[in-house]
Each structure stands twice: as C-alpha cells, then as structure tokens.
Amino acid sequence: MAIKVYVVDDSAVVRQAFMHLLQGDPEIELMGSAPNPLIAAPVIRRTPPDVLLLDIEMPGMDGLTFLRQLMSETPIATVICSTLSTHGSQVALEALAAGAVSVIAKPRLGLKQFLEDSRRELVQALKAAARSRPRAGATLRHSPAIVPTRPAVVAGLHALSMNKPVVLGSSTGGTQAIESVLMALPSDSPGIAIVQHMPEKFTEAYAQRLDRSCSMSVREARNGDRLERGLVLIAPGGRHLQLRKAGGQYFAVVADGPPVNRHKPSVDVLFRSAAECAGSDALAILLTGMGDDGARGMKLLHDRGAHTLAQDEASCVVFGMPMEAIRLGAVDEVLALSQMAGAIRSFDARG
C-alpha cells in the first residue's frame, strides 16, 4: 500500500516541486497540499495522512504551533521542511522536540533546483517517517535561560587514566533519544563523540540546545578537539567525524569526504575510527534510525573487544540501524533507551 503524504507549505513553487518529485515514486501517494495549517487542518483531521510534510514559517498559523496541536490530539508522522538559517534550525529543533520525525533543509535561494537534487533524501525521509512511531511531547527544554550547574571536572590522574571514549550513532528519532541519554548523565561522565544524521547548519544549534540542558558540556566538534571527561562532541552536519589517539588521549578529526551509506556525517566513519584507535577501550552505542549506517562499524568495534549496545525495538522511533547491527552479530546488549545512561555509568565505573 502506498504511503499517503500531505504537504503544507505557503510557497506554491515548493508545493508544485514536491508534487512533481513525489509523483514518480510508486510507493508514495500525494493526498494533496495546502498553503497553510488553517486550510490543512480540517482535511487532515477528516482523512489523516501517513506522513505530513510541513513547512515551519507560514502566515496565519506557523507550522510549529500546528504540529504541537496535532501531536496533542492524534500524532501523525511529520517531516519538517525548514530553511537553512540560524532561525530556521532553531525552530526545526523545537519541532523535533514536539514530535516531528526528521528535518529536510531547504535554502532561501535556488529552491527548485535544490529540491530536485535532494529528491532521494526527501523520499527516504518520508518512507522512514511512515515506518516510525510518532510520539507526542518533548523532552528538550524550551527555555534558553535554564543552565545546569556544572561542577568542575577533575583534570588530574583520574581524568587521564579513565579517558575511555564513548561513541554513539543515531538517525531518525535520534535527537530526542540522545537528549534523553545525556540528561541522565553527570557532568564528569566519559567523553562522548556523537554522529546524528542532521542537515548542515542544524547541528550547531542542536549542540547549543543540548549544552543548555545537560550537565555535560556539549558542542559541535571542531578539528583537533580533545575528547575529555565531561564533554560531548556532535559531528557537524555535512562533515565526517573521526577519532585519533595521541599521547594516550583521543582527539576529533573533522573532515570533508564523500557520503558513506548515503550520509555525511556517517556513523560508520566514526565507529571505524574508534575501532582503529580505541578498540577494547571503547563503548559503542547505536540508537534509533532508518537504514544500516553504523552496523558494520559496530561489528568492527565488537570484533576488537569494544563493548557494544543497541537500542531495543520497543523504545526506537525506527528500529532499522540497531536491527542491522544485531543481525550482524555486532551487539553485546540490547537495552531500552532508559537504560543507556546507566550502561555508560557502569562502563565508566569498570575503569
């Protein structure tokens, strides 16, 4: 059965482009479109689509308000289409926190050509959303004024001797899953390197948002950053993140390169580098996401003695990535999302 998609976007050019792009896929049925939520609402409530493709900035009622309304009534799998701007990325993160499944970026200029070039990404996002479990509510805090107290991380012999890296990968549904894990960790937890599939320019805002909410410090990774206790490094959108070891410490390598498993950043790239430089000293975690990115990298980590964890199906928005790693025999433990922070603390305590 075809995936029924409904488009809400105030731009007639965008709506026409979406219609053109989606009509060529036999697995997708375009139900219709509307220029704003006020027109779309009665149609969606009468005949709910499988997936809603929603713009954020619209007159009358903005997409974020509409999304929150929908999620409080009858959650619908929603893909956000947001502009590649600082404001656009911040509002898109609010939408993800409100229950949207993923974000597709769009530029302010050259829109039609951009959408043509991004057709594959768009179709994959819609199909992933159709397989997801849409969930209402948010865990990310909306107030930027809330800053957690961060006790100073001791930088003595303990910090140096206990510098064992945690590497984590996720995709669809991962923004909320990552936040859930980090919120449960103390400020002196082991350094964590993360690849979350997100568009360029969105990862910086995401890292800043997490930094305001978590006890650990969180920032977008920069080339040469030391992965130290109390620090979380998020791979920048559009760049790969790897780890290298020097002088007993781990450092971030942020570099361009071709997509791996159709993704940049790619979880496999991070995991393979961790297998090479950390081996049995690493803890690897694979959370919710569509596809198989990270599965082969986790198998390499597992074969080199690293401890490997995958999120269970019941707590995943999409069980694709963890399932593929389990299928390869790459996973030591399958845990609920709520157990991941405890597993990191246990890994740290083992020394």
Sorted by sequence, the CB contacts under 8 Å of residue 59 that are 6+ apart come out as 10, 36
Tokens of 207: 């890292």
Domain boundaries, the chain: 3-130, 157-350
Q: Quick check: do 3-130 and 157-350 share a fold?
A: yes
Cβ contact 33:18 at 8 Å: yes
Q: Do the Cβ atoms of 126 and 27 come closer than 8 Å?
A: no
Burial class of 23 by CB neighbour count within 10 A (0 to 12, 13 to 18, 19+): exposed
211 flagged as catalytic? no
Q: Which of 33, 89, 102, 171 is catalytic?
A: 171
> Would you call 171 a catalytic residue per the annotation?
yes
Element (H, E) at 253: strand 249-255
CATH superfamily of domain region 3-130: Response regulator (3.40.50.2300)
Instruction: Concatenate the DSSP letters of all residues of 65-121 into one string.
Output: HHHHHHHHHS--EEEEEEESSHHHHHHHHHHHHHT--EEEEE-SSSHHHHHHHTHHH
Whole-prediction pTM: 0.87
Tell me if residue 293 is catalytic: yes
Tracing tokens 């009534």 back to the chain, one arrives at 73
Catalytic one of 9, 188, 211, 293: 293
Per-residue pLDDT of the chain (351 residues; tens, 9 = 90+): 899 999 999 989 888 888 888 888 899 999 999 999 999 999 999 999 999 999 988 877 888 999 999 999 889 999 998 876 667 788 889 999 899 999 888 766 666 676 666 788 888 889 999 999 876 654 444 334 344 555 555 444 444 445 799 999 999 999 999 999 999 999 999 999 999 999 888 899 999 999 999 999 999 999 999 999 999 999 999 999 999 999 999 999 999 999 999 999 999 999 999 999 999 999 999 999 999 999 999 999 999 999 999 999 999 999 999 999 999 999 999 999 999 999 999 999 987
* Beta carbons of 337 and 181 less than 8 angstroms apart: yes
Q: Which residues does 20 contact at the CB level (< 8 Å), separation at least 6? A: none
Catalytic residue among 82, 132, 170, 197: 197
The CATH number of 157-350 is 3.40.50.180
